[in-house]
Structure 1
């Protein structure tokens, strides 16, 4: 079965030339939290959803509800939001990939990306902080990867921003320092998605953060500020260090991010 993009309602949507931002289901769900903030802050309308047999089915109330009326709208496991003015599309994925179907989902995703003719794709991901090698322990926890096709488009943009590319590590540490490879533990399909995009000449950037499971909201804000340095989704302050969480709109669904409150009956 192929992944099928199904438009919402009767609208006919062409995403050709748009920039796609999407999460990779990874440690702490940081990419998905960042997607929530983008959709909520930019008030992006839903334009459709991806129908795939590779994701666990999920259904729930509108996570971006602003009124009692639109709170009853339904959301499912993978939905697409877009802004015509910004030429921006956002794919939100709310459920994990079914075991054994990671390769199929990756192929479906890349087929849809090529069919839609996006100008570039940005995947937000994360990796276990405790797996870092020595050279990754100093400085920022943020890293990037860019396919050759994307580097052709953006040139030395990431060097200008003074971003750090994800370091390659030894395939056999302690035995041989030769054979450097990309290593993204806890990153889900991040590595394979990047490798396939290189092979298929898809202009893809991976932005990731080293983190641990827990309250990953600060990590989401950190990753989003990293993305905003490049994409400028919201206006940057004159001093980048003064960017605060208040500039992003927290969706209503985050009130229950850690479950409901402690029942008073316990006391």
Structure 2
């Protein structure tokens, strides 16, 4: 992955937190990043060129009228007032290359000095086992802070730990092994001939991102909500 910085621009040295989306149902992660870029008036400082991202191009993504400024598959933004960097992903990953892409993003985060990565994703509402109506905030998190995925800071914010994470489950373990470079990825997942329900979540993009950032020693937090066609269910 190559980071191409636009002429006269740079990433603020004080920025240590990176926010990025994981491709998911309803494009919720990407929409959230678009909202953050727009509301914080983040400045585009460059773009990322990666062989595992399908090419795409569009017109200015944020201006009220088209001005001819191209929107590219992977763009980097800097919100200096908030000391936050953002990466927007506008096209999908080549089939079977999600782990390779996640490794490249993790290498990029290390190279630019990120200490914490926030991955924004959504989950299929039909797979929600139990609906909790005790709280109006239906945000779930998964953190690399502790081995069980918990984080005291997230708990204080009122977020709920995502209960489906099991680091000892076979596919999560395989994903961690891939991320650490101790196995060769012959295909998307093992056990494709006999997949089980427990293999579903580790096959999603957020899981590869989580595992690869964690393997690089970067603190990573996934924020997720259950959705159907982009609508959050509460």
TM-score by length of 2: 0.76
Matched, 1:138 2:154: no
How far does residue 149 in structure 1 lie from its aligned partner after superposition? 7.5
Please report the RMSD computed on the Cα atoms of aligned residues, expressed in angstroms: 2.9
**1:150 touches 1:203 (CA, 8 Å); kept in 2?**
no
Q: Which runs of 5+ in 1 are unaligned?
A: 173-180, 223-267
Q: 1:48-87 counterparts in 2 under 5 A?
A: 48-67=46-65, 71-87=67-83
**2:4 touches 2:49 (CA, 8 Å); kept in 1?**
yes
Q: Which runs of 5+ in 2 are unaligned?
A: 171-197
Cα distance in 2 for partners of 1:159, 1:118 equals: 23
Bigger Cα Rg: 1
Q: 1:26-65 counterparts in 2 under 5 A?
A: 26-65=24-63
Cα distance in 2 for partners of 1:86, 1:169 equals: 30
Q: Deviations over 1:103-151 (max 9, x none)?
A: 2101101100111111311000011111122xx3223542101112799
**1:168 touches 1:183 (CA, 8 Å); kept in 2?**
no
TM-score by length of 1: 0.67
Cα distance in 1 for partners of 2:122, 2:21 equals: 10
When the two structures are aligned, how many residues end up with a matched partner? Answer: 201
- Which residue in the other structure is 2:182 paired with? none
Cα distance change, pair 20–72 in 1 and its aligned pair in 2 (3 A):
same
Cα distance in 2 for partners of 1:120, 1:149 equals: 14
Q: 1:113-124 counterparts in 2 under 5 A?
A: 113-124=109-120
Cα distance in 2 for partners of 1:161, 1:43 equals: 25
**1:8 touches 1:47 (CA, 8 Å); kept in 2?**
yes
Cα distance in 1 for partners of 2:10, 2:132 equals: 48
Matched, 1:19 2:17: yes
Cα distance in 1 for partners of 2:117, 2:23 equals: 16
Aligned match for 1:184, one of 198, 201, 206:
201
Q: Deviations over 1:192-246 (max 9, x none)?
A: 2222333332111100011112xx2x54xx9xxxxxxxxxxxxxxxxxxxxxxxx
- Which residue in the other structure is 2:192 paired with? none
Cα distance change, pair 169–81 in 1 and its aligned pair in 2 (3 A):
closer
Structure having the larger proportion of residues in helix: 1
**2:114 touches 2:218 (CA, 8 Å); kept in 1?**
no
- Which residue in the other structure is 1:203 paired with? 219
Q: 1:77-226 counterparts in 2 under 5 A?
A: 77-133=73-129, 136-139=130-133, 141-148=138-145, 156-168=152-164, 184=201, 188-213=204-229, 216=230, 218-219=231-232
How far does residue 16 in structure 1 lie from its aligned partner after superposition? 5.7
Where has structure 1 moved over 3 Å in runs of 4 or more? Answer: 12-17, 169-172
Cα distance change, pair 90–169 in 1 and its aligned pair in 2 (3 A):
closer
Cα distance in 2 for partners of 1:183, 1:145 equals: 16
